[in-house]
Amino acid sequence: MELNLNTCKQAWLSKDARFDGKFFIGVKSTGIYCRPICPVKSTEFKNLTFFKTAAQAGINGYRPCLRCRPETSPGTPIWSGTCAIVSRALRLIAAGELNNNKLPELACRLGITSRILNRLFITHLGASASAVARNQRLHAAKRLLDETDLSMIDVALGSGYGSLRRFNADIKHTYGVTPTQLRKSKTKNVHPDSSGHYVFKLPYRPPYSWRHMLDFLSTRATPGVEKVLNNEYIRTIGTQDKAGLIRVSCDQEKNQLVCHIGCSHTENLLATIEKIKSIFDLSADPQMILSQLRLDKKLWQQVKKNPGLRVPGCWNGLEIAVRSITGQQVSVVGATTVMGRIVKQYGTRLKTTAGVGYLFPTAHALADLDPASLSMPRARANTIAAVAQAVVSGQLCFAPGQDSNEMIEQLTRFKGIGPWTAQYIAMRALAEPDALLEGDLVLEKKAALLYGLNERMKTRELCERAEAWRPWRAYASMHIWNM
């Protein structure tokens, strides 16, 4: 994203939440960098400088503001002006790829050299890949210090530091105090709630259509694993040894989601937060998406009715793959019923009191399933088993940073998986914003209504029409689906 000085100035003056996380403001007189919505009294404009990312502000000698807490911003949308390689690298870094591995290994995974990767990062984000990773660890540590009562060693390990010494040194260098002193300086340290859950508040850029998000997740919720109840999303997480529960609600007045995370494996708290952000598409930039979709006048009439529509992500890529295969040629309700049976047969039973009591089956459990045991065509059950076997062997991966085109190509090689299924998996498991559900019956029928056709829009015609929606075809599809 190229920064426009006038836009930055107006966002700074108005404290506009739509720009939160899209850039950061450095105050020259104090050496502090803030979010555009920082409540601190404004200084003179001549004393300000603007940065694309928090990492860029950090390498220029600015330290994070303790009032607006840049570590809690929605973050820079990974497709805002970046190339595909940088977008993939950012997903991998967010997943902790550089916590245990070195930069050349990350670059190799992306098919380029570390020198080229750093050049791309500096061009698009104003900071090297290593600087972005270091900034992420620092922000993660600051957040755990502020919002949990974890021990210092747990904070260090949970935020991606390999040692307590490095953690202490980074905090002292950035904030000028030790981690213990930094935590004591907070008057409101957040502890687990009465149920033992940690509470995190995740901001988003408005508008956000929480009701439509819940409706989508509710009708497709896997019985026993997830559910929507009292305007709240609930699901089980973790493994049999380290199981937990998350509850997510929305505070629309403050433009944030409120997440209650209950689990015994506190070292995965931040990974859990990243997955929640993915499920609810919190990194999306509505203004950028709307500016492209409004170019299609017919579509825009539908889009402006609900400008806060997001594309739902998922907790588990394999779970979405199984769901999409199960849902072929059956209704949403029918697919949900079958998913519940799969969970009861192959999932892990837990003791919970929230109306959900199973962990979704592991890849190993589904790889060994008996096709005759499932109430679906045997060919479809065989496809589920084949996909699970590929995940177990490492031939198929739904991890962050996976190239969506490569994964779509891989998926369509499986007997029983066509373009629609592969695109749906890419849209939800990899957060692919340009996924187009080719051949989707509902999409083609509603598109025909939208564009005034007498019969269902043909797949070829839909693909041609969708060229005007790039790179946000998934969002356009969601708007048409919701007609």
Q: Is 149 a catalytic residue?
A: no
DSSP assignment, residue 467?
G
Up-side HSE of residue 319: CA atoms within 13 Å toward CB? 23
Backbone angles phi, psi at 405, to 5 degrees: -65, -40
Cα dihedral: 217, 221, 224, 229 (round 10): 40
Compute the distance between CA of residue 99 and CA of residue 356 in angstroms, rounded to an integer: 33
Token pair 């892990």 is at which residue? 348
34 included as an active-site residue: yes
Quickly count: other Cβ atoms within 10 Å of residue 419's Cβ: 16
Enter the tokens of residue 393: 């062997």
| Length, in residues, of the chain | 483
Reduced DSSP (H G I as helix, E B as strand, rest coil) percent helix, strand, coil of the chain, to 5: 50, 10, 40
Q: Residue 50: which H helix or E strand, with range? A: strand 48-51
Query: Tokens 């973050």 label which residue?
Result: 75
Sign of the CA dihedral running 284, 287, 288, 291: positive
Q: What is the DSSP string of 434-449?
A: T---TT-HHHHHHHHH
Exactly one of 8, 20, 34, 285 is catalytic; name it: 34
CA distance 221 to 244: 17
Residue labelled with tokens 């105090």: 177
| Terminal Cα distance for the chain, rounded | 32
Active site residues per annotation: 34, 440
